[in-house]
Amino acid sequence: MQELTHWINGKHVKGTSGRFADVYNPATGEVQAKVPLATKAELDAAVADAAKAQVAWGATNPQKRGRVMMAMVGLINRDMDKLAEALSREHGKTIPDAKGDVQRGLEVIEFCINAAQMLKGEFTDSAGPGIDMYSMRQPLGVAAGITPFNFPAMIPLWKMGPALSCGNAFILKPSERDPSVPLMLAELFKEAGLPDGVLQVVNGDKESVDAILDNETVQAVGFVGSTPIAQYIYGRGCTNGKRVQCFGGAKNHMIIMPDADLDQAADALVGAGFGAAGERCMAISVAVPVGDKTADALIEKLVPRIEKLKVGPYTAGNDVDYGPVVTGAAKANILRLVESGVAQGAKLVVDGRGFKLQGYENGYFVGPHLFDNVTRDMDIYKTEIFGPVLSTVRAQSYEEALSYAMDHEYGNGTAIFTRDGDTARDFANRINIGMVGINVPIPVPLAYHTFGGWKKSGFGDLNQHGPDAFRFYTRTKTITTRWPSGIKEGGEFNFKAMD
């Protein structure tokens, strides 16, 4: 069985704790590797080495740092197939989904090529008599990222790229469920020209997380995961004086107006709700059709589309729409919530509870589920299920539909499908959610805009990627200058001239 490593000072290093986590193949339920779980001492040593390496890296011309990112883009494209296969093997998502995972991370690295432009300061000439004023953006020192299992390429790249481009050293603590791709990305960064020690990948669990949060050298922490853990990390990190950005759970609503193209809306809901087995923080998990006529027509279109979905292992190629969920515990939790929906009175229109895949009986496959007549008080409405389950909540008016999204505790993403520009504009202006789609089901911003949710989906003042990332990973220093003038012959100063 393969024993994975940490990535320390530019090379693979075995763990010394003696503790390991199992890495499963979600399609078969078999353990395929073991990943070491670092101690506080291992984490602290990695941070100390990173701090030493950061001094020279932070002093490196930002244009040269951008060239490392440029080389990284070429290497990721070269190894796209290899990265996608490794990602699918540990996570379970299909190869096209895995390539999409890598691609969205790659786009942030492309944006980071422009580091020199993003790090330019400001200058004011003659702010006062003979006084100039300017600002500069400087690296924090050592930053860290704690990233989730559902995007093991994209989110590490979202964190690593901007942090490194800004001149910081970076400590990555990836998910222990699928750690191979982050280690592969670290190898590519070295090949791209990143100096040893500037990027450290330390595998671990809560002990490593707490060590990051308590280490005085770590100046900033970024996290993506569940809301309870996001709140914990945000609270502990801020208490320890760190800059912290944390992104938590989601319950994304899609409102379908009576004038919407229902075929377009149904296709969008199937892709957004069931792609990647629903294990996406931007997945649409709640459909809100306005009016019973709209709801009935939408359900009629959804049912055959959902029933045709093909579930299977990534090795089946393009014949599969989505694969297994990541662990047996995740599967059990999804099915538990489905049972609660039935018990609490929701109508299970498409029932995937009995799904079995011949030859993969021990895999973590979950059939697709569609609920109708879901209400606010049901667990399947309140909870982020993180699985292939779509709930339909019927609204009788636009205002009622709007209230579902606005009143929910999560505020990550939302969408509206309509042909009416005035309605769409009103929705975009009024909704209290961070990312909004208009006839776009998964409104993930491109790399040169910022990604982040509101309410209990996001904690911290600055978002991921785009300009916010360069603000998050740097400090602004402002300098006010005045130079003496009026020097007399013989080198003596005329101090009166300075008054």
Q: What is the CATH number of the domain that holds 23?
A: 3.40.605.10
pLDDT for 253 beyond 80: yes
pLDDT for 30 beyond 60: yes
HSE at residue 316, side-chain half, CA atoms within 13 A, is 18
pLDDT for 227 beyond 70: yes
Supply the pLDDT for residue 127: 87
Q: What is the mean pLDDT of residues 159-186?
A: 98
pLDDT for 488 beyond 60: no
Spatial separation of the C-alpha atoms in residues 94 and 444, rounded to whole Å: 20
- The verdict on residue 499 lying in a domain is no
Is 281 an annotated catalytic residue? yes
Residue 9: other Cβ atoms inside 10 A: 18
Supply the pLDDT for residue 489: 54
Q: What is the mean pLDDT of residues 320-344?
A: 97
Encode pLDDT of 102-126 as tens digits: 999 999 999 999 999 999 989 999 9
pLDDT for 20 beyond 90: yes
Structural domain for 348, as ranges:
252-438
235 and 293 inside one domain: no
Q: What is the mean pLDDT of residues 34-38?
A: 98
99 and 41 inside one domain: yes
Per the structure, the count of domains in the chain is 2
- Give 415's pLDDT tier (boundaries 50, 70, 90): very high
Spatial separation of the C-alpha atoms in residues 380 and 391, rounded to whole Å: 7
191 and 339 inside one domain: no
Phi and psi dihedrals of 247, rounded to 5?
Answer: -120, 125
264 and 241 inside one domain: no
- Give 143's pLDDT tier (boundaries 50, 70, 90): very high
pTM over 0.75: yes
- The verdict on residue 126 lying in a domain is yes
HSE at residue 74, side-chain half, CA atoms within 13 A, is 8
169 and 151 inside one domain: yes
120 and 269 inside one domain: no
Spatial separation of the C-alpha atoms in residues 249 and 226, rounded to whole Å: 5
pLDDT for 184 beyond 70: yes
**Average pLDDT value over all residues in the chain:** 95
Of 112, 166, 246, 281, which is the active-site residue?
Answer: 281
- The verdict on residue 110 lying in a domain is yes
- The verdict on residue 456 lying in a domain is no
CATH code, domain carrying 337: 3.40.309.10
- Give 368's pLDDT tier (boundaries 50, 70, 90): very high
232 and 315 inside one domain: no
Spatial separation of the C-alpha atoms in residues 329 and 152, rounded to whole Å: 19
Spatial separation of the C-alpha atoms in residues 343 and 338, rounded to whole Å: 9
